[in-house]
Structure 1
Amino acid sequence: MRLIDTHFHYDFLPPASRERFKAGIAREGVEIIAQTVRPSGFIELERENLPMVAVGYHPWYIDDNYERELEIFREALPRTRFVGEIGLDFAPRRLDDVSAETQIHVLTSILDAVRASSLFHILSIHTVRSADMVLDLLEPRLDTSSSVAPGETFVPIFHRFGGTSDELTRLIRAGGYISVNPLMLRTKRGRAYVSQVPVDRLLLETDLPREPRSGDGAEMVAAEVIAALRETVAEVAALRNMDEAELTDALANNAKTIGI
């Protein structure tokens, strides 16, 4: 059975332990999409033997050098089909660090580059207290009245979605997906969304590691990823009254449908 972690922070692993991590997940048939928090981080990961590396610009990591990072993003975009982690974070403590205006400028620049690209891209998007604004930016770029049909240039995945039910409906109507991890399933709202959203719009993720790791712990992180994915499958299957094998096949087919 194919298990795909669509949101893993590979760049948080110490370089010396990465090969052992890859070997550990490969033994269990697990694949990852390696997210990056800055475009310059993508350049570093390109040198590694990874089949799926995303170029991203996480809102927490935007600094005064953001225009240069956006240049790197535009240069790197033709070399990958994956974009992430990108998005907006309007939690008060995050806005103290990076203004909403700057975050919106960065995300708009990213989405415009993706829309102009000749490649189809898969986007993993951070939407803390900002799903409505992210959707406001996405929807015109997926406009059915435009010359480009929805889903023809990119597909949005809201990572660990925590917005409102109306925002979730907008996402699904826009052709989007949600990626689910154990933390999302610990909330009443998260469990309700996972129960209600069409099964063909669900994907798996772990969002691991939570922070940059130091030292050697590759085998432990690999075990955490495998356990988190299996736990998520078991919980989602129970919530939806599905067989775990049936759900695993459906999730793998969802990933295949969008080119993962």
Structure 2
Amino acid sequence: MIDLHAHLDLYPDPVATTNECIERNLFVLSVTTTPSAWSGTAALARDAARIRTAIGLHPQIAHERRGELGLFEELLPRSRYVGEIGLDGGPELKATWDVQRGVFAEILRMCRVTGGRVMTIHSRRAATPVLDALASETDAGVAVLHWFSGSRRELQRAIDQECWFSVGPAMLAGERGRAMTALMPRERILTESDGPFAQIDGRPLFPWDAAAAERTLATLWGVGEEEVRDQLVANLKRLTIQIASK
């Protein structure tokens, strides 16, 4: 099972959650929201061969943590994974928009300079500006658009720009999310939980809940769950090989 976007450090008991992921032999990309959180979060998975920790600076707090860009650059050589990064166009964040764009542009530049990274990217109400930024830094790495919620036109542009996508149970619970996922290339889809932020029936999702996304993908693709798992494993291998070759 694969969870390409989980906030392990933000669960009520991060150690227990991490240990459960290890026990279940999950592949987890443990994302962070600030560079200063990376070292402690990476320590959670020190002995976990299938957990990777991404260096992030979440757009919703970019205006508060832009002073950590220097630390981001210092840590970047220590991980091939970056996230959660991106842009958020929500009206409540309008005043921070220029700072968000500057921070995102600087992170993409750093990723390019260091040879490219797998990047898990937030694009709520900001798909076009995110894609514009990626188009201006084509060597930044492999962009994985987490919980993509843009328009169909923006989705097609993302596909044309060779973006990947991570989808989870909360996204797939809605008709629109399922319809958008059905249009995504199967060979560029991976599963996620986005826990503990994402919820189903008022309950925070855990990394192992990504299994529910596998079941929905099986329905959307008209195949068995085993074939879905085989596809996802092949996708993950190709993603990691792709970034390793950069």
Alignment of 1:153-232 (within 5 A): 153-210=140-197, 224-226=206-208, 228-232=209-213
Change (3 A) 1:22 1:107: same
Distance 1:182 1:89 in 2: 21
Deviation at 1:20, TM superposition (A): 2.5
Alignment of 1:5-154 (within 5 A): 5-14=3-12, 17-48=13-44, 49=46, 50=48, 51-66=51-66, 68-96=67-95, 99-118=96-115, 120-142=116-138, 153-154=140-141
Distance 2:150 2:26 in 1: 29
For the pair shown, the structure with the greater C-alpha radius of gyration is: 1
Aligned length: 233
Identity of aligned residues (%): 32
Deviation at 1:18, TM superposition (A): 3.1
Change (3 A) 1:21 1:65: closer
Distance 2:108 2:150 in 1: 20
Deviation at 1:155, TM superposition (A): 0.3
2:131·2:158 contact (CA, 8 Å) conserved in 1?
Answer: yes
1:256 aligns with one of 216, 237, 242: 237
* Amino acid of the structure 2 residue aligned with 1:36: T
* Amino acid of the structure 1 residue aligned with 2:108: L
Distance 1:65 1:80 in 2: 20
Deviation at 1:164, TM superposition (A): 0.9
Deviation at 1:165, TM superposition (A): 1.1
Distance 2:77 2:100 in 1: 23
* Amino acid of the structure 2 residue aligned with 1:255: L
Match of 1:145 in 2: none
Change (3 A) 1:43 1:225: closer
TM value normalised by structure 1: 0.84
2:53·2:81 contact (CA, 8 Å) conserved in 1?
Answer: yes
Distance 1:106 1:53 in 2: 20
Distance 1:184 1:18 in 2: 24
Which 4+ runs in 1 deviate beyond 6 A? none
2:34·2:65 contact (CA, 8 Å) conserved in 1?
Answer: no
Change (3 A) 1:22 1:140: same
List alignment gaps of at least 5 residues for structure 1.
143-147, 212-219
Match of 2:228 in 1: 247
SS in structure 1 of the partner of residue 197 of structure 2? coil
Deviation at 1:64, TM superposition (A): 4.2
Deviation at 1:10, TM superposition (A): 1.1
Does 1 or 2 have the higher relative contact order (CA < 8 Å, sep 6+)? 1
List alignment gaps of at least 5 residues for structure 2.
242-246
SS in structure 1 of the partner of residue 190 of structure 2? strand
Deviation at 1:65, TM superposition (A): 4.5
Distance 2:64 2:18 in 1: 34
SS in structure 2 of the partner of residue 122 of structure 1? strand
